[in-house]
Structure 1
Amino acid sequence: MRAIKDEIVNLTESPLYEYRQRNNYFPVIGQGDHYAEIMFIGEAPGKNEAETGRPFCGASGRVLDQLLASIGLPREAVYVTNIVKDRPPNNRDPLKTEIDLYAPFLERQIDIIQPKALATLGRFSMEFILRRFGAYRPGARISQLHGTVIPVRLAYGMATVAPLYHPAAALYNASQRGTLEDDFQVLRQFIGSKQAAIITKEA
């Protein structure tokens, strides 16, 4: 992980590098347990994340923490990251060139952590991960796939993609909070002995 961080920090060829430097932002590599059973993957950092270098640290992050608590998991028991590691201007969607540049770093993170479940946060992340690992269903929408589990074959073996709405959805639409809480229940099956030990320690 240290090598990945160093490479991203010095990724001068990134079209987002100058924007990062000009605004005194940090790249957001990821945070959490490097042996996590569950890996959460968002789209790209927002302003709060770029200012701190930590993923999901603003209002969406508070919702994520609450959702994790609803299944008995502290943030420390999972790993949280994004596809793109630098903030795009004005929180726009990442461009294909940016995704192509940053995606290999995410794949290396997945190979290092070897999670049982890739929990995608939002439509963009869901579509990217399903396409990347050959499980994309043409025409499928997050409104159809949220709360389901989709098996995928990764370099280290079989894993599961669990599409979830982005935590920000609960901030803009109160009715989505219940949906997110229900959908998070599918992640219980991936809580392993190491995560259970962390939960016991926290208690």
Structure 2
Amino acid sequence: MFKLKNIEKKINNCTACQIHQFRNKTVPGEGNSTPDIMLIGEAPGKNEDLQGKPFIGAAGKILDQLLSSINLERNQVFITNLMKCRPPSNRDPLDIEISNCSNFLNEQINLLQPKMIVTLGRFSLSKFFPEKLIGRDRGKLFKWKNIFIYPVYHPAAALRNSNMKMKLEQDFLGIPKSLQKIKVNPNTIQNKYKENEQLSFL
């Protein structure tokens, strides 16, 4: 927990991007310090920027419902974003901003060592697999280094399209199934599949 706080302090003091001038609070992330599952979104929104906590707006309510549907609570996972500051007017983050923030995210991943990362939306998926498409590759499991990546749509997509919520609910059901297989025999899985390769047991 102490090391996690150190990363948080560095995030709070970061001035690498111009957007630090417009933020109210940084949003480092929060949750379990020894999680099996880490969820990574895109960037803080207005509510998150005001309170310094991830996914507390309308999209956060949907995320809570999705977690509840697979018998998980926030304190059992770690939730963060690719970006630790809110881009002005909720615009898409720039490549240089993503690059700057990626250093902090890498530190968090290296420290927490989750068994599984659930990427929420296309931006966080692209951090690990730039060539993959969220619409095509959602709900599939991939290996990145020694961690398994499971892409799903961003919960905010469900606010704009009710069909997206159904897809999110379907994909979230695959999370505990995938995690169980990873936990039962991770060595067999890791030896059988090459890095970046889709795992076929889903």
TM range (shorter): 0.7 to 0.9
Displacement, 1:107?
Answer: 0.3
Normalised to the residue count of structure 1, the TM-score between the two structures is 0.84
Provide the secondary structure at the position in 1 that maps to 2:129.
helix
Checking the alignment, whether the CA contact within 8 Å between 2:27 and 2:52 is kept in structure 1 is yes
Q: What is the RMSD computed on CA atoms of the aligned residues?
A: 1.5
* Matched residue type, 2:179: F
- 1:163 Cα deviation after fit: 0.5
C-alpha separation between the residues in 1 aligned to 2:83 and 2:165?
A: 26
Offset of 1:96 from its aligned partner? 1.4
TM-score by length of 2: 0.84
Counterpart CA distance in 2 for 1:173 and 1:33 is 31
Q: Output the CA distance in 2 between the equivalents of 1:7 and 1:151.
A: 29
Mean Cα displacement is larger for which, 58-67 or 92-101? 92-101
Distance in 1, matches of 2:137 and 2:37, equals 18
**2:39–2:118 CA contact under 8 A, matched in 1:** yes
Within the candidate set 149, 154, 158, 1:166 is matched to: 154
Instruction: Tell me the equivalent position of 2:135.
Output: 143
What's the offset of the Cα at 1:14?
Answer: 2.6
- Equivalent-residue separation in structure 2 for 1:184 and 1:85 (angstroms): 24
Structure 2 equivalent of residue 35 of structure 1: 34
| Contact 2:64/2:73 (8 A) holds in 1 | yes
Which stretches of structure 1, 4 residues or longer, exceed 4 Å deviation after superposition? none
Query: In the alignment, is the contact (CA less than 8 A) between 2:35 and 2:76 conserved in 1?
Result: yes
Matched AA of 1:34: S
Tell whether the 8 Å contact from 2:128 to 2:144 is kept in structure 1 after alignment. Answer: no
Which residue in 2 is equivalent to 1:86?
Answer: 85
Q: How many residues are matched? A: 178
Other structure's SS at 1:167 match: coil
| Overall identity of the aligned pairs, in % | 43
* In 1, Cα distance between equivalents of 2:15 and 2:37: 31
**Per-residue displacement from partner, 1:114-165 (whole Å, max 9, x unpaired)?**
001111001111112224xxxxx3xx42111111101111xxxx21110100
Counterpart position of 1:108: 107
* Change in 2 beyond 3 A, CA 1:159/1:13: closer
Which residue of structure 1 aligns with residue 44 of structure 2?
45
User: Using the alignment, how far apart are the partners of 1:64 and 1:122 within structure 2?
Assistant: 12
Alpha-carbon offset, residue 13 of structure 1: 3.1
Task: Answer yes or no: is the 8 Å Cα contact 2:121–2:151 preserved in 1.
Answer: yes
Describe the superposition over 1:26-56 as per-residue Cα deviations: whole angstroms up to 9, x where unpaired.
Answer: 1000010011111000111111100010000
Match of 1:120 in 2: 119
Q: Would the aligned equivalents of 2:19 and 2:86 in 1 still touch at CA under 8 Å?
A: yes
Q: Give the residue type in structure 2 aligned to 1:87.
A: R
Q: Residue 22 of structure 2 aligns with which residue?
A: 19
Cα distance in structure 1, aligned partners of 2:155 and 2:16: 31
Q: Distance in 1 between matches of 2:63 and 2:52?
A: 17
What's the CA shift for 1:69? 0.5
Contiguous gaps of at least 5 residues in structure 1: 132-136, 193-203
- C-alpha separation between the residues in 2 aligned to 1:129 and 1:42? 13
**Aligned residue in 2 for 1:3:** 6
